[in-house]
Chain A
């Protein structure tokens, strides 16, 4: 059984239990800007849930509302059975978090800091084992400000899980990681979720990361969750947009997006005398789904075939700024 299949069985079982995180119609307004316009989320125990969205979409805002750091404008939220705005210390102890930008405790030594934060929790992880887990054993005696960006981030992750949280929030955890560190981080997160049943909510801009790690992915665009499902489901939703490429007789390369690639290929063959050079059918990837979503948001229409991806991304930036 592949890991993904194993996940799926576990999920179906977990679905009957009460979700660890549940949000209904959450809105957030800064001044007169509506950043969130009705976000609904359900995250189940042991699940790795990825939140995607362009810069400024409101991912951090959403995560901070769930963490209890930010007061929502309206809506219902329950995290580990409590309203985050009224979470007490016992509730806090069950949650771990890694924020997007942290530069605290620069003068502390790595091991010293981890050992100190272990004292706040009833059943902390062993600091030495934790250092080994995130690959910082050699840096244990170093001052935090002397760590590289990626090492610092790994320390943040270690601090996030030192109290054995049931629920872990990771806001862009792998920014600045080299490929190897990223891979090790993925293994670590998977291990936490699979072996210890930790529920993980992570935000990322790395679609491959989301696809690889997440059981379910939600796309936050224009203040709402526009799509939510397993990576496979999301890709299927965009099956309308498979891409067919081929080289015409005059040597020009054609690309066409279509709802029915099979139909198009068949027609191409009917009009051709023989094999078609460079014929290729690209199934939509998560990235296609994502860019498609963004494009639809910018246009206010459902995208049709033949959209240039580059335009799609440019449009996205505007939405992000306007949001």
Chain B
């Protein structure tokens, strides 16, 4: 067991180093932060009925979206790619390989999420006078909403990554619903301007609640008048995110197991042949 932790943490460290050294992936993450800052600069005015700049509302929502994206876009993509390349299969053939893989991936996701969030908030605070939590209560809310938010999306993302067919189709399949949620969950503009049925559908998914929780952590209490419910609804935030976390775990464990079990050398060869034929991979 100690071996699994040692191998998993070593793996996590190495993967993290690869991520930091990969210009392609780093620029992807940094672009997100830059986009958020640019929007924050161009959005002017105050949240109606308060003295809170609308830019703060947008930045808090964007922070939630970035967490959501790490769990439900980046993670599934990593899983699908590594499944396809045979990483998962090799670890399956290695004693303790799969648990070590999960340890490494958890570490990677937590560091990515914390890093992105810290970078976004710090740079926004420095450059565009962005929001930071008010007092220990605010920091505490930031911590639990982030943690619970990750627990809600990461297992779900792992489940998605276990069932998606291949990296090329996977991206299209994930991005559409993600974008739809981004615009209906009140992350970048208040959802109160949307039709009620749309709001109700968006409220089923975790993004709306992650954004609402982060707003409560980052904005002054007076800003809650701009919420649809007129309050932060923190108990509801905790409830919905916990429900998704439970659902995610229930789905992820058997699906990951199935994905690992179904991997085999012949499937790998068949996929490589197909990919080579479609010219996506150098043969």
Contacts and interface: CB of A to CB of B under 8 A. Distances in A.
Contact of B86 (A61, A67, A90, A104): A104
A117 B3 CA distance: 11
Contacts of A171: 265
A120 B7 contact: yes
A99 B94 CA distance: 13
A116 B91 CA distance: 11
Contact of B89 (A63, A90, A104): A104
B14 A116 contact: yes
B266 A64 contact: yes
Contacts of A99: 86, 89, 265, 268
Interface in A74-105: 89-90, 92-93, 95, 97, 99-105
Contact of B22 (A60, A102, A107): A107
B14 A112 contact: yes
Interface residues of A, number: 32
Contacts of A90: 95
A184 to B, nearest CB: 23
Contacts of A95: 93
Given A119-B6, A159-B90, A101 B95 contact: no
Interface in B1-48: 3, 6-7, 10-11, 14, 18, 22
A70 B265 CA distance: 10
A91 to B, nearest CB: 8
Contacts of A108: 14, 18
A101 B86 contact: yes
A120 B14 CA distance: 15
A120 B95 contact: yes
A163 B95 CA distance: 10
Contacts of A70: 264
Contacts of B11: 116
B95 A92 contact: yes
B50 interface: no
Contacts, number: 83
Given A92-B95, A104-B86, A69 B14 contact: no
A107 B95 contact: no
Nearest to B18: A107
B265 A100 contact: yes
Contacts of A119: 3, 6-7, 10
Contact of A120 (B86, B94, B272): B94
A163 B264 CA distance: 21
Contact of A101 (B14, B96, B100, B269): B269
A121 interface: yes
Interface in B76-104: 82, 85-87, 89-90, 92-97, 100
B129 interface: no
B227 interface: no
A102 B7 contact: no
A74 B225 CA distance: 67
B270 to A, nearest CB: 9
Contact of A89 (B14, B90, B95): B95
Given A103-B272, A104-B82, A119-B6, A60 B18 contact: no
A205 B86 CA distance: 23
A69 B11 CA distance: 24
Nearest to A70: B264
Contacts of B89: 69, 99, 102, 104
Interface string A101-129: 11111111000100011011100000000
Interface string B143-173: 0000000000000000000000000000000
Interface in B246-283: 263-266, 268-269, 272, 281
Nearest to B6: A119
Contact of A92 (B6, B22, B94): B94
Nearest to B90: A104
Nearest to A58: B266
A100 B89 CA distance: 12
Interface in A133-164: 159, 163
Contacts of A61: 266
A104 B90 CA distance: 8
Interface string B113-151: 000000000000000000000000000000000000000
Contacts of B96: 89, 120
A92 B89 CA distance: 13
A116 B90 CA distance: 13
Given A101-B272, A103-B85, A120 B22 contact: no
A116 B18 CA distance: 14
Chain A to chain B: the 3 pairs with minimum beta-carbon distance, closest first: A99-B265, A89-B95, A104-B87
24 contacts: A60-B266, A63-B265, A67-B93, A69-B263, A69-B265, A90-B95, A95-B93, A99-B89, A99-B268, A101-B265, A102-B86, A102-B265, A102-B268, A103-B281, A104-B82, A104-B87, A106-B85, A107-B18, A108-B18, A116-B10, A116-B14, A119-B3, A159-B90, A171-B265
Given A105-B85, A120-B3, A171-B265, 7 more contacts: A69-B89, A69-B265, A99-B89, A101-B268, A104-B90, A119-B3, A119-B7
Interface of B: 3, 6-7, 10-11, 14, 18, 22, 82, 85-87, 89-90, 92-97, 100, 263-266, 268-269, 272, 281
